[in-house]
Structure 1
Amino acid sequence: MTPPSKRMEWQAGAWLNPPHSFREEGGFLKVSPEKGRDFWKKTLYGFEYEDGPALLAHWDPETAIEVSFRLHSFTELYDQAGVLLYHGPGQWIKAGIEINDGIPQLATVVTDGYSDWSLAAVPEWAGEEVTVRASILKDAVIIRARSDKHAWRTIRVARFPYPTGNRAGPFACSPTREGFEVTFTRWALTAPDHDLHVDPPVEG
């Protein structure tokens, strides 16, 4: 039986790729990714990156994962952070906030050998604290997001047919600049979704 919420300690994760720097401060995790690292496979651009920093732990499909972070530092093109769902090389999903066209966008990259990218503009979320949530239902993952002032939005339903061998946790990337720092405020495992059309509870 899954407890309502289990807050993860930052030390519970292991870096898939270490960032330029990271530190704990006041219970939060501050991460500075190295310029030029990212997650992407082939589509449109031709290049392949799987070297962005992500702090991952075992992810039981009977739980949902939530990652929260602040947007105050997101100012430049492709500044991004959120949650990485990682099955293995070339089989992963990253979902979170990314700056594109000068505004915050809910961005999801689904990858199975090739990547696809979806965006939904949320300029009204600028400067707020955002929570991104992923929950497996059957052979798919439901990805939702909310801010501290705005309700849950379902942003993607994507194929994720891996019953075992999954890791998940916070990620951050800064493909185009140095000096980007993300403040992660929460990483938690919670009760999973049972219905696509029923919002999960809001937990602090």
Structure 2
Amino acid sequence: MSRTVDWQSGDWSNHPVSAEVQDGVFVVTAAEGSDYWEKTMYGFQHVNGHALLAPWEDSDAVEVSFSLHGFTELYDQAGIMLWLSPEVWIKAGIELNDGVPHIGAVVTDVYSDWSLSPVAEWAGEVVTVRASRMNDAVVIRARTENHPWRTIRVARFPYETGKKAGPFVCAPTRAGLKVTFLRWVNTAPDTDIHADPPEE
């Protein structure tokens, strides 16, 4: 059974321009230039993105749902952040790349890597991103209200304690990105990599 995580129960990694509960949804405005990235290819380190983090236990999968309405500029992004430390984290979700929404993940252990795939058919929809730990890894999946679960990434994340998770938003190239989050829940973990997550 899913348990809703209260928007007020998390702690911001960096405070956004604004974050307000409006009619049951959570509207977050990102700061211009906000992002997370560690070194790879570009050489720079960006640690000023906005992640709302709460403790995450292995007994739960965590899911975050948000609307893609308003994603218009290069690298506009939102989704779920999995956090152990400033050098060990994973962000997964939607990022606008060359005008097309892409589902992807940045996996960081001192250095970041980036994987992504275009999902033009998801434009304007509500996306749910899900993370569930299995053995020494995390399985990341995503869907929309009109498209089924797809597995996005299996990444090493062997940390049983001390980890946090929650929604994130970044706006690397512009001011004014507002993201509407509709849902943040802890729910039953995955049972098999080849099966859809348990139904609520």
The residue correspondences of 1:86-97 to structure 2 (distance < 5 A) are: 86-97=83-94
1:154 to 148, 151, 159: 151
Structure 2 residue aligned with 1:50: 47
| CA RMSD across the alignment | 0.8
The residue correspondences of 1:72-111 to structure 2 (distance < 5 A) are: 72-111=69-108
Per-residue CA deviation, residues 135-163 of structure 1 (Å, 9 max, x unaligned), is 00000000000001000000000000111
Structure 2 residue aligned with 1:116: 113
Alpha-carbon distance, 1:201 to partner: 3.9
Alpha-carbon distance, 1:202 to partner: 5.1
Structure 2 residue aligned with 1:70: 67
1:180 to 172, 177, 180: 177
Q: Report the Cα distance in structure 2 between the residues aligned to 1:66 and 1:147, rounded to whole angstroms.
A: 12
DSSP 3-state at the match of 2:50: coil
Alignment length (residue pairs): 200
1:139 aligns with 2:136: yes
Relative to structure 2, which stretch is displaced further, 89-98 or 192-201? 192-201
8 Å CA contact 2:191–2:197 kept in 1: the answer is no
Structure 2 residue aligned with 1:125: 122
DSSP 3-state at the match of 1:179: coil
Per-residue CA deviation, residues 76-109 of structure 1 (Å, 9 max, x unaligned), is 1000000000001110000000000210000200
Structure 1's unaligned 5+ residue stretches are: none
Structure 2's unaligned 5+ residue stretches are: none
Q: Report the Cα distance in structure 2 between the residues aligned to 1:111 and 1:145, rounded to whole angstroms.
A: 20
Q: Which runs of 4+ in 1 moved over 3 A?
A: none
Q: Give 1:130's aligned amino acid.
A: V
- Aligned-pair identity in percent equals 60
Q: Report the Cα distance in structure 2 between the residues aligned to 1:194 and 1:202, rounded to whole angstroms.
A: 11
1:39 to 36, 45, 49: 36
8 Å CA contact 2:11–2:53 kept in 1: the answer is yes
Task: Give the alignment's TM-score, normalised by structure 1.
Answer: 0.96
Q: Give 2:122's aligned amino acid.
A: W
